[in-house]
Amino acid sequence: MSGGLILLILLAILIVFGVFIFNQLVTLKHNVGKAWSNIDVLLKQRHDELPKLVETCKQYMQFEQETLEKVMQARSQVASARESHNIPALGQAEGALRLGLGNLFAVAEAYPELKTNETFQHLQSRISGLENAIADRREFYNDSVNINNVRVEQFPDTVIARLFGFSQFSLLRFAAAETKDVDLKQLFNS
């Protein structure tokens, strides 16, 4: 074999290997996008359900306006962060919303008529189900982001990633308030 033929074979192998890495990076990038879309759908569904819950609560909780307003403000912050794809702001807004919902459900315990209201029970169950689904999707999103970010930094993938503009994504992190234990006594005394 001549030196030119060996060089052509090595170049062909290198090109095939580069295409293989490129295609894997494309798949990872789209997996992150799909994971984000799954979260986005659930956030939108919860966003649509919260006003119904607040309206139902308003009928019974005349003296708890501050609690209801905090939930609606946090809802607005989540929507804003979601629409702008601002992952760090979404993590903080999610923490505020979850805290507000926890307070709302705790305060609702003081209103027996509200607790037995069929609409309230349905909405509370629906929102709790959405919260669980969002938590599952956040875990999948962060796993997808982590796999992408590791591959973008690993050699030789980093060469292809830099050459074609593949970048890292932000993990969906949460406020410190969301990761610490909940003080149930404080919630029931609110």
* pLDDT at 112 (0 to 100): 81
Q: What is the pLDDT of residue 181?
A: 47
Concatenating the DSSP letter of every residue in 47-72 gives: HHHHHHHHHHHHTT-TT-HHHHHHHH
Structure confidence by residue, pLDDT tens digits, 166-186: 999 988 877 655 444 444 444
pLDDT in tens, 106-164: 888 878 888 788 888 888 888 889 988 988 999 999 999 999 999 999 999 999 999 99
Q: Is the pLDDT of residue 87 over 90?
A: no
Which one is predicted more confidently, 97 or 183?
A: 97
Tell me the domain boundaries of the chain. 3-189
Residues 28 and 144 sit within 8 Å (Cβ to Cβ): yes
DSSP one-letter code for 102: H
Q: Do the beta carbons of residue 114 and residue 57 sit within 8 Å?
A: yes
Mean pLDDT check: name the lowest of 23-27, 87-91, 171-175.
Answer: 171-175
Question: d(Cα 181, Cα 40) in Å, to the nearest integer?
Answer: 27
Q: Is the pTM of this model over 0.85?
A: no
Contact indicator for 130, 49 with CB cutoff of 8 Å: yes
The domain at 3-189 falls in which architecture?
Answer: Up-down Bundle (1.20)
Provide the residue type at 159 as one letter: V
